[in-house]
A and B are shown apart, each in its own frame.
Chain A
Amino acid sequence: MSQIFHRSTNTLSRLSIFGGLIIFGLTLWIVAGVNRSGYVTQAGIAREQPIQFSHAHHAGGMGIDCRYCHTSVEDSAFANVPPTKTCMNCHSQIWSDSPMLEPVRSSFRSGEALSWTRVHDLPDFVYFNHSIHVRQGVGCATCHGPVDQMPLVYQYSSLQMEWCLECHRKPGRFIRPRDQVFNMEWEPPADDPGLGARLVKEYGIADVEHLTSCSVCHR
Chain B
Amino acid sequence: MEEYAASREIEELVHREFPALASEFTDPVGRRRFLQLMSASLALAGAGACTRQPRETIVPYVRQPEEIIPGRPLFFATALVENGVAMPVLVESHMGRPTKIEGNPEHQASLGATDARSQAAILTLYDPDRAQTISNRGEVRPWGSFLAAMQLAMTGQRAAQGAGLRILTGTVTSPTLAAQFDSLLKELPRARWHRWEPSGRLAPRQDFIYHFDRADVVLSLDDDFLSCGPGHIRYARDFASRRRGAAASKQPFRFYAVESCPSITGSKADHRLPLKPSEIAAFARALNGGARLSEQQAAFTDAVLRDLRAHRGRSIVTAGDTQPPEVHEEVRRLNAALGNIGTTVVAAQPVEARPVDHAASIAELAADMAAGRVSLLLIVGGNPAFDAPADVNFAEALKKVGLAVHASLFEDETSAFCHWNIPLSHSLESWSDARAYDGTESIIQPLIAPLYNSRTAHEVVAALTARPERSSYDIVREHWLKTRGLDEQAWRRALHDGFVAASSGGATHQAPGTYQAPGTYQAPGTRTEAPGTVEILFRPDPAIGDGQLANNGWLQELPKPLTKLTWDAAVYVGPQTADRLGLAAGDLVEVRAATRSIRMPLVIVPGHAPDSATVHFGYGRRRAGRVGSRVGFDAYPLRTSAAPWHTRGEIVRTGETYPLATTQNHFLMENRNPVRVATHEAYQREPEIFRHMGHTPPKTLTLYPDYQYTGNKWGMTIDLDACTGCNACVVACQAENNVPVVGKDQVIVSREMHWLRVDTYYRGHLDNPETYHQPVPCMQCETAPCETVCPVAATAHSAEGLNDMVYNRCVGTRYCSNNCPYKVRRFNFLLYADFTTPSLQLMRNPDVTVRSRGVMEKCTYCVQRINAARIESKKDGREIRDGEIQTACAQTCPAQAIVFGNMNDLGSRVATLKAEPRNYGLLEDLNTRPRTTYLGALRNPNSELEKRDLSRDRHEG
Residues of chain A having any CB pair with chain B under 8 Å: 31-32, 34-35, 39-40, 42, 71-72, 75-78, 80-85, 107-108, 111-118, 121-125, 127, 129, 131-132, 135-136, 204, 206-207, 209-210, 213-216, 218-219
B48 close to A117 (CB less than 8 A): no
- Roughly how many angstroms separate A124 CA and B53 CA in the complex, as a whole number? 10
B786 smallest CB distance to A (angstroms): 14
Given contacts A35-B50, A219-B847, contact A127 B59 (CB under 8 A): no
Give the residue of A113, A124, A125, A216 whose beta carbon is less than 8 angstroms from that of B60: A113
B132 smallest CB distance to A (angstroms): 24
B390 smallest CB distance to A (angstroms): 50
Main secondary structure on B side of the interface with A: loop
B46 close to A218 (CB less than 8 A): no
B795 smallest CB distance to A (angstroms): 8
- On chain A, the residues within 8 Å of B804 by CB distance are 213-215, 218
Residues of chain B having any CB pair with chain A under 8 Å: 15-16, 20, 24-27, 30-31, 34, 46-53, 55-64, 69-72, 711, 796-800, 802, 804, 806-809, 847-850, 860, 863-864, 866-867, 871, 874-875, 877
- On chain B, the residues within 8 Å of A125 by CB distance are 807-808, 849
Residue of A nearest to B737 (CB): A219
Given contacts A78-B71, A85-B64, A213-B800, contact A123 B34 (CB under 8 A): yes
Residue of A nearest to B799 (CB): A209
- On chain A, the residues within 8 Å of B16 by CB distance are 113
Q: Which of B799, B849, B860 is packed against the most chain A CB atoms within 10 Å?
A: B799
Give the residue of B31, B70, B799, B807 whose beta carbon is less than 8 angstroms from that of A207: B799
- Roughly how many angstroms separate A135 CA and B918 CA in the complex, as a whole number? 43
- Roughly how many angstroms separate A44 CA and B34 CA in the complex, as a whole number? 21
A124 close to B31 (CB less than 8 A): yes
- On chain A, the residues within 8 Å of B27 by CB distance are 124
A219 close to B26 (CB less than 8 A): no
- On chain B, the residues within 8 Å of A219 by CB distance are 847-849, 860, 863-864, 867
B806 close to A218 (CB less than 8 A): yes
Give the residue of A39, A40, A111, A216 whose beta carbon is less than 8 angstroms from that of B15: A111
B798 close to A216 (CB less than 8 A): yes
B17 smallest CB distance to A (angstroms): 9
Give the residue of A31, A35, A214 whose beta carbon is less than 8 angstroms from that of B796: A214
A116 close to B15 (CB less than 8 A): no
B48 close to A32 (CB less than 8 A): yes
A117 close to B57 (CB less than 8 A): yes
Residue of B nearest to A133 (CB): B871
- Roughly how many angstroms separate A123 CA and B47 CA in the complex, as a whole number? 17
- On chain A, the residues within 8 Å of B57 by CB distance are 115-118
- On chain B, the residues within 8 Å of A218 by CB distance are 804, 806-809, 849
Q: Which of A114, A117, A118 is packed against the most chain B CB atoms within 10 Å?
A: A118
Give the residue of A42, A76, A82, A115 whose beta carbon is less than 8 angstroms from that of B59: A115
Further 14 A-B residue pairs, CB within 8 A, beyond A209-B799, A213-B797, A216-B798: A71-B69, A72-B71, A80-B70, A84-B62, A84-B63, A85-B63, A113-B60, A113-B62, A118-B58, A124-B27, A124-B850, A129-B867, A213-B799, A215-B863
- Roughly how many angstroms separate A78 CA and B64 CA in the complex, as a whole number? 14
A124 close to B849 (CB less than 8 A): yes
A113 close to B61 (CB less than 8 A): yes
- Roughly how many angstroms separate A6 CA and B27 CA in the complex, as a whole number? 64
- On chain A, the residues within 8 Å of B798 by CB distance are 210, 213-216
Residue of B nearest to A209 (CB): B799
- On chain B, the residues within 8 Å of A127 by CB distance are 847, 864, 867
B123 smallest CB distance to A (angstroms): 21
Given contacts A83-B61, A113-B59, contact A72 B69 (CB under 8 A): yes
A164 smallest CB distance to B (angstroms): 13
Q: Pull 16 A–B residue pairs with CB atoms less than 8 Å apart, ordered by A.
A: A31-B47, A35-B48, A42-B52, A42-B53, A75-B72, A84-B62, A115-B20, A115-B58, A117-B55, A124-B31, A132-B874, A204-B877, A215-B806, A218-B804, A218-B806, A218-B807
- On chain B, the residues within 8 Å of A40 by CB distance are 50, 52
B53 close to A121 (CB less than 8 A): yes
Residue of B nearest to A219 (CB): B864
- Roughly how many angstroms separate A129 CA and B27 CA in the complex, as a whole number? 17
Residue of A nearest to B795 (CB): A214
B860 close to A215 (CB less than 8 A): yes
Residue of A nearest to B15 (CB): A111
B874 close to A204 (CB less than 8 A): yes
B608 smallest CB distance to A (angstroms): 43
Residue of A nearest to B33 (CB): A124
- Roughly how many angstroms separate A125 CA and B47 CA in the complex, as a whole number? 20
A81 smallest CB distance to B (angstroms): 4
Give the residue of A31, A108, A115 whose beta carbon is less than 8 angstroms from that of B48: A31
- Roughly how many angstroms separate A157 CA and B95 CA in the complex, as a whole number? 29
B196 smallest CB distance to A (angstroms): 44
A86 smallest CB distance to B (angstroms): 8
Q: Which of A42, A78, A84, A122 is packed against the most chain B CB atoms within 10 Å?
A: A78
Residue of B nearest to A159 (CB): B53
A67 smallest CB distance to B (angstroms): 13
B46 close to A31 (CB less than 8 A): yes
Residue of B nearest to A107 (CB): B62
A216 close to B808 (CB less than 8 A): no
Residue of A nearest to B30 (CB): A124
- Roughly how many angstroms separate A131 CA and B64 CA in the complex, as a whole number? 19
Given contacts A80-B70, A215-B802, contact A132 B55 (CB under 8 A): no
Residue of A nearest to B852 (CB): A125
- Roughly how many angstroms separate A35 CA and B51 CA in the complex, as a whole number? 9
- Roughly how many angstroms separate A71 CA and B69 CA in the complex, as a whole number? 8
Smallest CB-CB A-B distances: 5 pairs: A78-B71, A213-B798, A76-B71, A209-B799, A35-B48
Given contacts A213-B804, A216-B798, contact A112 B31 (CB under 8 A): no
Given contacts A82-B60, A113-B59, A113-B60, contact A136 B806 (CB under 8 A): no
- On chain B, the residues within 8 Å of A71 by CB distance are 69
B781 smallest CB distance to A (angstroms): 16
A38 smallest CB distance to B (angstroms): 11
B58 close to A111 (CB less than 8 A): no
A131 close to B871 (CB less than 8 A): yes
B69 close to A118 (CB less than 8 A): no
- On chain B, the residues within 8 Å of A76 by CB distance are 69-72
Q: Which of B58, B711, B798 is packed against the most chain A CB atoms within 10 Å?
A: B58
- Roughly how many angstroms separate A204 CA and B15 CA in the complex, as a whole number? 44
- Roughly how many angstroms separate A42 CA and B48 CA in the complex, as a whole number? 16
- On chain B, the residues within 8 Å of A131 by CB distance are 871, 875
- Roughly how many angstroms separate A31 CA and B44 CA in the complex, as a whole number? 11
- On chain B, the residues within 8 Å of A42 by CB distance are 52-53
- Roughly how many angstroms separate A81 CA and B61 CA in the complex, as a whole number? 9
- Roughly how many angstroms separate A118 CA and B60 CA in the complex, as a whole number? 11
- On chain A, the residues within 8 Å of B56 by CB distance are 117-118, 121
A114 close to B60 (CB less than 8 A): yes
- On chain A, the residues within 8 Å of B47 by CB distance are 31, 34-35
- On chain A, the residues within 8 Å of B863 by CB distance are 215, 219
Give the residue of B70, B850, B875 whose beta carbon is less than 8 angstroms from that of A135: B875
- Roughly how many angstroms separate A199 CA and B809 CA in the complex, as a whole number? 33
- Roughly how many angstroms separate A206 CA and B47 CA in the complex, as a whole number? 34
- Roughly how many angstroms separate A31 CA and B55 CA in the complex, as a whole number? 23
- On chain B, the residues within 8 Å of A136 by CB distance are 874
- Roughly how many angstroms separate A172 CA and B689 CA in the complex, as a whole number? 52
A132 close to B875 (CB less than 8 A): yes
A156 smallest CB distance to B (angstroms): 15
Give the residue of A80, A111, A118 whose beta carbon is less than 8 angstroms from that of B62: A111
B65 smallest CB distance to A (angstroms): 10
Residue of B nearest to A210 (CB): B799
A82 smallest CB distance to B (angstroms): 6
- Roughly how many angstroms separate A108 CA and B47 CA in the complex, as a whole number? 45
- On chain B, the residues within 8 Å of A85 by CB distance are 61-64
- On chain B, the residues within 8 Å of A213 by CB distance are 796-800, 802, 804
- On chain B, the residues within 8 Å of A81 by CB distance are 24, 58, 60
A123 close to B864 (CB less than 8 A): no
- Roughly how many angstroms separate A132 CA and B868 CA in the complex, as a whole number? 10
A117 smallest CB distance to B (angstroms): 6
